[in-house]
Structure 1
Amino acid sequence: MESATKAYSSYFKLCIWLTCALLYISSASARQSSGLEKLRSGFSPSTQGNQTVLMISQDGTYSVGFYSVGENAVGFAIWYSDMVDTVVWMANRDQPVNGRNSRLRLQKDGDLVLSDAGGTVVWRTNTKGHRVREVKLPNTGNLVLLGSSADILWQSFDSPTDTLLPEQPFTKDTQLLSRADLGTYKSGYYRFYFNEDNYLGLIYTSPNLSSKYWPHPWLNAFDNGRTTYNITRLATLHRSGIFNSSDQFTFIASDHGESHLRRLTMDFDGNLRLYSLDKQNRSWRITWIALPEQCRVHGYCGPNGLCVYTPKPKCMCLPGFEMVDPTDWFQGCRLIKELSCGPKSTKLLRLPYTDYYGFDKTGYGVSSFEECEKICMDDCYCLGFSYRLSGTGQCFPKSLLMSGYQSPGGPNHMYVKISINDSSVKNVSSVAEQVGWKPLQCSTEPQVPANISSALARKAKKSQLIIPLSTFVSAIGAMEIVFIALGWYFMFKNYDDDILYNRQGYFAVPTGLKKFTFSELKRATNNFRDIVGKGGFGTVYKGLLLPDNKMVAVKRLEGVSHGEEEFWAEVSMIGRVHHINLVRMLGFCAERKNRLLVYEYVENGSLDNYLFAHDSTRFLEWKKRLQIAVGTAKGLGYLHEDCLEWILHCDIKPQNILLDKQFCPKVSDFGMAKLVDSHRDRALTFSTIRGTRGYMAPEWTMNLPITAKADVYSFGILLLELVSGRDAAKFNIAESGGNFVQWAFENVRRGNWKENLVDSKLAGEGRSKVEAEIERMLKTALVCVEQDKDKRPSMGEVVEMLMVSLDREEEEKKERDRETQLSTGIKTGMVEMARVFRHVGMTSPYESSSSSGIT
């Protein structure tokens, strides 16, 4: 019995010893396979045919080592330890080294050198002659070479590839250069940088041409909200998701806060995106994007290619063209039949609402269509021409067809030359359908928005670092089961809170909207007591969000029966729309039968409170009316022509134009037609949901297809109200002998519009000075309310018409400022000259001898 007890005791001690030994070996093996925190002089690892970790940051976020970029090819790179497929920096992206026997050396002379298997130096830090103490990877992801006094001799932050990390300085000497494609790490065509005018921009650069495309290339720096007086040229992405630049450009992540890992990446498709890591789902979420309209990226579909929305952005070749390389859209398209010089050997392919940006041979300001056609057909180097339907005859012959995109409702039609012998294009008149163009419709059919990040998301690669200790893994299996059981217990203990957090947090990819609970919005609106407005879609309440005391407007929708996922899809589409003249959506609630939308709060309320007010303190001077007209037109133009999901408003009226502190107009209630129940009564749909009587285009009552021109008509009514100060919805037909539009036309026809039509309250501010602008707005309004929708301009053309007045006003203001500065300068000079004359004992010619009045 005693011997058995001793044997059992010895066996027990042996088990304990073996367990401790296995734990020690495992920890050592894990440290070796995971890499070190720093490298010392003389360290010289070599590639072994697979992905190898050399160092890991102290918090485990970043890894650095040899990264596999192809079959038997590696790069020296930094990547996220838990997201192995996301590389943030690579030293030799355009010259990968052999997967075997290539070597990284920290030489005794201070240089960190990467050499190929044959000994050829591929990359180096150029720190030769310095005493390097160590190479280190801090928690910021910045690989550094430290000198003997811990000073930084070299750092990866100074030479980024396609990604900017939080707190990484972005300067005039750095740039983000995209990858060539999704499956490669080689340098691509798109660059984010401080341009020659000292502000941040995006540019497409191919071997043959370059083209700037962000911010708006047709605007100058100041109109884009930037400044060129920017000597510093420094920008930083903060951990909280706030990006600040010395050129006055800034943006904030939709999920701002310091609890997320973030990266700003110049993606291969030419778009600049900010990503946040969703650790729970092991995926990246887009929390800011430079260009919501992907087709606005230059070079996206290559030469002769055309970008269309289906609704996802899609590249295609025009009829009569074919892809140069079926695997690479950046090479674009080419003619199937080569062109011969001369009008008799070519014909024109008409592309409605299409344009190719730039590369105009010259601009012909006033030309008929026939003249424009002849100019291009007689020029062997003209590949096509763009003709603007603005009534001014703007003609733009093209020497290159690049950056083509469709924009239904846009101001341009494109005409492209093709061979007259090309039998593949049989019906030129149906090209609109061939390229997938469809007119805008006020439809209530739900459209699930395209997930802009789907092409960029890939499943994480399986780590190639395997710890060869299967015996140990089996031995601690029981311990893992215990920990898992405890984890499940604590997780379900707080199940309700966790589900609330996960489902009510930011879900956006890439909308950036927050999903609120009904109880949150009930508290914010004080149980829905403070009503600020009512409309056909529901009631709007004033609210205060805690804990940051942010004022919001909460719209409680009525008549919505969409399911939660369907509602999310529609809200996601609206949430992607951002413009200074559109009210911004901040979040939503879809809980049981409750459907609510949360918007920014606009301080001055709606336009009707000022335009039709009898209170003299609310009088709108002409300058503000003009600015409101231009801003509203720009917002509608963006909805019709520029945003990713083209949207018709269908209910333009003063009650839906909100004014901020500076009286900047913001269009509200856009996209509402998609959120209401499509099964509601048809008569109600036409009179309340789709518009307001007095503002509705004739095609509504004639049961004709509703396009963007219906919004143009309603906007024309709004312009007439701005000129006359009269409410179209309350217009007295019996008193005036016709409706609002007929009354306006009749006054213009009789020539007494100045006396009978223009708001009498404008007389007090010197109406004669602004009569030319009033007349121009009136003419714009009348062309917008044409009975024939085809005679109405697009919103883009309306903006151009109204901007003439605004530009003239700005020029007059600048001229007055220059005269004031000149006058001030002359007076200052006279004072200085008088002082000089007195100093030498002479009388100044600018003052009398008796009393100069100058001291």
Structure 2
Amino acid sequence: MALGWRSCFALCLAVALVHGACLPVAAALVGPTNLTAGASLTPPGYITSPSGDFAFGFLSLGSGNNPGKFILATWFVFGAGAGGSNASLPSPQSVVWFAKQSVSGDTAVGTAQSALSVTADGQLALADAAGRVLWRAPIARLARGSVLALRDSGSLRFLGDAGDVLWDSSWYPTDTLLPGQSLAMDGGRSQGKLYSKRADAEFTTGRFSMGIQTDGNVVLYVDLLAGNSPDNAYWQAYTNSPDGNTTVTFDEQGRLNYTLHNGTVQSLISSSTGAGGDYYRLARMDPDGIVRVYFSPKNAAGAGNASWTISGAFPSDGCNKRTSGLQGMCGPGSYCVETKDRLSCLCPSGYTYTDTQHKDSGCSPEFVPQTCEGGGGDNSDEFALVELPSTTWEASIYYKKFTSTNESQCRSYCLNDCYCAAALLIAGTDCVEMAALTNGRQANDVTTKALVKVRTRGSSGRRPPARARTAVPYIVATVCLAFLLLATIVAGGFLARNRLGKNRDRESQPLLTTSVRAFSSKELHQATNGFAKLLGKGSFGEVYKGSVRSPEAVRLVAVKRLISSNEYSEREFANEVQSVGQIHHRNLVRMIGYCNQGTERMLVFEFMPGGSLRGVLFGPPGRRRPPWRWRAEAALGIARGIEYLHEGCASPIIHCDIKPDNILIDGKNSPRITDFGIAKLLGDHTVHATVTDVRGTRGYIAPEWLRGDARVDTKADVYSFGVVLLEIITCRRCQEPLPPEDHLHGGSDDETVTLFGWAGQLVGAGRTELMLPGVDDDYGDGVAAAADMERVERFARVALWCVEANPVVRPTMHQVVQMLEGGVADADAVPPAPDPPGGCLHSSPLIPMANKVE
């Protein structure tokens, strides 16, 4: 009986299709309106919606870098052009959906031999000539589809035998919403998210996205490798609610609205065009990070490629937007300019785009930057300053600030400072030096003039143009590459054979001669109860709690399991074992053993029951902060641990990632430094290490890491410790904006400063008592405030000295320990307090990571 019912449905469907073919609106259509079982679609074929407004099929990526490549896409045909050539040659702006892998998010790309079909097992799949599946519509397990139809709304539907919807393209939007389409949260799971394209005509995932968080907040993100986190948001609607039930809808009138859990409707964008059904409309997350609503009159002249007009956009001030990590819409070295249709990223004179195809990637100097070798500004006559009026860099990495100066003095300061990459002349009176250009903006309302340092044309340090270079380097390079290729092939053979042998070996291979124990993977599997208790995870692996038996007793351990598929983890593993395995200090987490068996790479550490310093300092609201006396002793212990790494080991070790997350608390409530995954070992006579892949954590990274040569020494850890020391004093995060009421001199309602600027204000004004948390346990116990405040001020001065821009000026960790202990006899060894500030944003002469400079 079921078979007869299905046959009846198929017959009805066929009759409906035949009837549809007789409708007047379809008379102009050449392509079919659906794809049924047994049929296939090949390039450049397409199907159309019943009205002829939309087409779905193979879209050519053009000649360029993708000759003969196609994607599956849906696009506007604008009705009158449905039967003409324009249906298969849409403008990129008319494309409203394209197929992407459900897991990786990569765009599915086929060739002229690819085919889309409803397979024999009821799947909708794109396959290449060899039958390899390139894309598959995600449907429920055991479900079987029979018809793919393109609706007049622009969405694709894959239907089962009973007409039930197995898959709908509107459930998986790309960068566009069509009228009636929405984004929502369902049971804490996001139903749809918009991802920008990398460029208008480039159908790969771009930098920006729009979605709804689990708390119901509508947020725009800059997508980084770390994924979407609150730190990556550059705009939010503040639609948080207890149940997180927020929906974003694009309606038929061109309004982009959000609906809260209580039914309240608010507009993100209100269309400025007339009401009615006379327009085609779409809302899109554009490649520049702005969400725009477009419209085009129906039946407009030009048919298939009719123009689109912007009717609304948000955020309206895109060039002003920053994440809390200070990332802007344009990359480092460039500045943002707002135009009517797009945000443009421009390079200062003397700079060039790092990627000419993607200008938002940033700019780099065309010349060899100034260095501080040989004493500093001796070669200042080789440089000049290029003016950029009405331009500012609002997220400078660090700066010196000079008040009551004129332009001539400002120019002189920067030209004679080898660390100055640019200077900002604010309102013609204040001069701010920057060590590197981050992301800036240019607008009529900006009262700042930027002075960018460039090398003069007559200087020998200028990078020569390509035509002036001889062929000799290329000949030498070719010979070297040929030799390298041969050596790589030979070495690869030995390496493959060696790895094969390793994988067969059932015992853990000794990595090097250390006093730590070599565990087998079986032992650590048992020790962690099958890796059951996850303590945390990072970019290179996960940490599990376990216990191992020693001759003395059973010991709790933390097992760090590196990701075997990560190529960097091999090098990191060797670094960590070699560096940590040979050191013993009361303020460093001790490594007990490791596993080097087959593809398994694991490190075994002492278990720290007190958690991380981050949890202690920045716990949930209402949690009591540790007393100042404990914080002071913890800071001293951390300093001693870093001092041991720099001066107490056989070879100095640069930790490279000092931050509260990497400082753990042991059973005796003492701090221990951990995570030597990116530690750099220096030889006995080596002063600097060249870092080829800058790592670490934003906010704690020393400025020299971000310079072109990336040469660092132990002073990089000194800078990071200075940041942590300020956090320990204040119990505030280094990049946490401070509300106006915490400013020393008030300020306007919308002004915020970072921890560094705030601390500089207080030290300069002699008000360091305000740096302590609002309620400090020590004072409740009646501890003498005067004695404590002397130590608070001393610690704050040391912290500000540690974050000096010039690493040569920073103290060593040995000096830091001496100053924190109070054993420095010469008071001049601690830098004097900066001049009292004259305004809200004035601070110490050296304030890193300033949030706003205008």
Same fold (TM over 0.5): no
* Rg comparison, structure with higher value: 1
Give the structure-2-normalised TM-score. 0.40
Give the structure-1-normalised TM-score. 0.40
